[in-house]
Amino acid sequence: MIDFTLTSEQKDIRNMSKDFAEENLAPGVIKRDEGSIFPKKEIKMMADLGFMGMMIPEKWGGSGLDTISYVVALEEIANIELATSTIMSVNNSLVCQVLLDWGTEEQKINFLRPIAKGQKLGSYSLSEPQSGSDASNMRTFAEKNGSDYIINGTKNWVTSGHNSDFVIFFCLTEKGKGSKGITAFIIDKKTPGLHIGKKEDKLGIRASDTCELYFENCRLSEKNRIGKEGQGFLIAMNALGGGRIGIASQSIGLAQSALDKAIKYSKERKQFGNQIGSFGVIQNKLADIATNIHAGRLMVWNAAFLKDRGKNYTKESSMAKLFASTTATKAASECVQIHGGYGYMQEYGIERLMRDAKITEIYEGTSEIQKLVIARALLD
C-alpha cells in the first residue's frame, strides 16, 4: 500500500520551494512574461539551493533526493511561474537523467557534474521541423568520419536553447532503419558548425526561451556520443517517461495557482449584494477544479513512487500528464471566467495562466500521444 504522507524532509523541501518562489519569482513574473525575459538570476539562485540537479547523486554534484521530493518542489515553482519550472524540469528530468543513466564516466565529469550543480545549464533536443508527434521521423544526420561525426540538419523546439551551455540531441547515424538508426549526442554550444536560431515568440511560458539549432558540417568526437549507435530513440523515450512526471507536476502547480486565485476572488467580489462564492455556479466550478487537482496530484505521486522503486511507470506517467495537463487548462480557463473582465486583463496575471497552461497538453508528447502510450500499455 502506498503511503501518500510526505516525510519531514519532503515537507521541508516543499516549504523551501514555496518560500523561494513567492519571494523571488512572484515579484517579476508579469514583467518577464511581457518581455520574454529569461530568469537568469533566479535560475542561479535555484541552482545554489540544489534545485537544478535534485535527483542526481551527490557524487555527481546533485542533491541526491527522490522523485517525490523533486515533484513537490517543481509544483511550487510552477505555482508561481510555469516558464521557470519548465527550465528546471528540462534540466532535471531530461538532461541530468540521461547523463546519469547513459553517460560515460568522462561525460559525467565533464557535463553532468557542472549541470547538476547549476554551474552550467542543459537543453534537450529531440524534435525536428517535419517530425511533429512522430519523433523518429528525423533528417538530421551524423556521418562517421574516422573517430568523429560530421553533423548536418535542423532541430527545433529547443527549451533554453539561447541560454544553455550544452545540448543533448538526437539524430540519425544510419539511414533507412527508422528509430533504430537514431543516436544520442551531447554538444557544447560553442562548437564550430552549430548555429543558434532566433528565439521563438510563443503564446505562453514566454520567459523560457525556445529556438532552433542548425548543424552545418559540425564535427563532433565520438566521445560526445551517449550510449551506442542506434540506442538514441530508446534513450529519448526513457527520458520522456520521467519528463512527463515533471510536466504533470508543473500542471498541478499551475492548476493550484488558478484555484487559489479563484477562491480568493470569490470571497472578495460581490454581485447582487452577495459574495460570488455564495453562488452555486461558482461553488460547482471550485469543487470540480479542487477535486481534479487532488486526483492529479495523487497520480503524479504514484508515478514518482513507482520510478523511485525501479518499477515500470510508463503508463502511469502518461496518465498523470494527460490528466494533470487537462486539469491545468480547465482550471486556468475557469479562473479567468470567475474573474470575468478582470481575468482577461494582463495586469492581473490571470490570463497568463491560461496562455501558459496550453503548453502542458503539447510538449513532451501531446495529449493524443499520451492516450496512445496508455492504450498500448493496456493492450500489450
Q: Strands, DSSP E only, in the chain? A: 122-125, 141-145, 148-159, 166-172, 182-188, 194-199, 210-221, 225-226, 270-271, 274-275
Q: What are phi and psi of 216, to 5 degrees?
A: -125, 100
- The neighbour count for residue 202, using CB atoms within 10 Å, is 16
Grid coordinates 551517449 are at which residue? 226
The residue type found at 266 is S
Task: Tell me which of 9, 334, 364, 368 is the catalytic residue.
Answer: 364
Whether 68 contacts 6, CB under 8 Å: yes
Contact partners, residue 8, CB within 8 Å, separation at least 6: none
Distance CA 92, CA 113 (A): 12
- Strand 148-159 with 194-199, pairing: unpaired
Whether 200 contacts 210, CB under 8 Å: yes
The Cα-based distances of 370 to 131, 274, 326, 330, 365 in angstroms read 17, 43, 12, 18, 7
Give, as one character, the DSSP assignment of residue 342.
Answer: G
Annotated catalytic, 364?
Answer: yes
Contact partners, residue 305, CB within 8 Å, separation at least 6: 2, 67, 68
Distance CA 139, CA 214 (A): 12
Cell of 181: 538508426
Three-class SS state of 218: strand
Give, as one character, the DSSP assignment of residue 318.
Answer: H
**Spatial CA neighbour of 234 closest among 135, 138, 123:** 135
Cell of 365: 508528447
Whether 97 contacts 364, CB under 8 Å: no
Evaluated on CA atoms 37, 41, 44, 49, the torsion sign reads: negative
The residue type found at 335 is C
Residues with catalytic roles: 364
